[in-house]
Structure 1
């Protein structure tokens, strides 16, 4: 009997699938940040204060203006391509359904992380209440998604 031809052995988590999963998660976080993010100068102007007077829950990374316009759309494009490739990999049987579902359970965590980063790095005067409210919602939701991903991965591991 030839064990190398077993369909179960091909449904493992390959390094290529791992790369596409990482690209999906990183791209999702970048796209989420881009969709929620408002440029600091615009946010300060809308709040009626000078940007130099702003407080931050988390100090934003010093990004050039062009980077803000590139990071989000590129992240969105990468996330979409990676999602399509992972779905095709699962459909072809090269990645087990449970492991594909485990990756899918991690995507909301990446989306919440990107949104939280945009909220936490927003310029404000005083306390950033939005960052605290986002943490109150995102942490329990993220833990539920993480638990679901671990459960799917364990089921996938037991079946293979």
Structure 2
């Protein structure tokens, strides 16, 4: 039970720490040459002092690396089912894309922030799709674990040949 709890915490840390690393390591990407009070913002950045962004990013990077290492070692020892990477990868990607989009949207610019529009137009459907994939795969994995897979041993389909051929026609 202790190993399972460590793996669960590591998975949660990875999902949170990866976007934290991206957000912090990117830093505030304001237009250079004008004070922030004269820049235009699609969304005002949060009140986090600029000197804290890099340490936050480095802590996020270290936590993500440590959590990833724990999960990979768990998978290699057989304690972590590697199929759960099919859930974790889209969740981590969602966080990373969201952190990048947030930095683009909060960048101070002169005039219109074209990047913010692109981030919303492209980032939103990608993030939504990744979240749906993660949820669908989670449900499938939990159903198999609970034995609710239709009685076919986790395969989800009947074993053996399909009567009438692959397309259901005689031919």
TM-score interval for Structure 1 and Structure 2 normalised by the shorter chain: 0.7 to 0.9
CA gap 1:101/1:90 in 2 versus in 1, 3 angstroms: farther
Give the whole-Å Cα distance in 1 for the aligned partners of 2:41 and 2:58: 25
Gaps of 5+ in 1: 1-9
Q: CA deviation at 1:89?
A: 2.1
Give the whole-Å Cα distance in 2 for the aligned partners of 1:145 and 1:65: 31
CA gap 1:147/1:100 in 2 versus in 1, 3 angstroms: same
Give the whole-Å Cα distance in 1 for the aligned partners of 2:87 and 2:29: 34
CA contact (8 A) 1:86 1:100 kept: no
Give the whole-Å Cα distance in 1 for the aligned partners of 2:5 and 2:98: 24
The aligned counterpart of 1:56 is 41
Equivalent in 80, 104, 112 of residue 95 of structure 1: 80
Query: Between Structure 1 and Structure 2, which shows a larger proportion of helix residues?
Result: 1
State the superposition RMSD in angstroms: 2.2
CA contact (8 A) 2:98 2:127 kept: no
Q: Is 1:140 aligned to residue 130 of structure 2? A: no
The aligned counterpart of 2:62 is 77
TM-score by length of 1: 0.78
| Secondary structure, counterpart of 1:19 in structure 2 | helix
Give the whole-Å Cα distance in 1 for the aligned partners of 2:143 and 2:136: 11
TM-score by length of 2: 0.73
Q: Is 1:44 aligned to residue 29 of structure 2? A: no
Higher relative contact order (CA 8 A, sep 6+): 1
Q: Is 1:108 aligned to residue 93 of structure 2? A: yes
* TM superposition outliers: structure 1 runs of 4+ over 4 Å: none
Q: CA deviation at 1:55?
A: 1.8
Give the whole-Å Cα distance in 1 for the aligned partners of 2:66 and 2:114: 35
Q: CA deviation at 1:53?
A: 1.1
Q: Is 1:24 aligned to residue 14 of structure 2? A: yes
Gaps of 5+ in 2: 146-171
| Secondary structure, counterpart of 2:78 in structure 1 | coil
CA contact (8 A) 2:11 2:71 kept: yes
Aligned pairs, number = 144
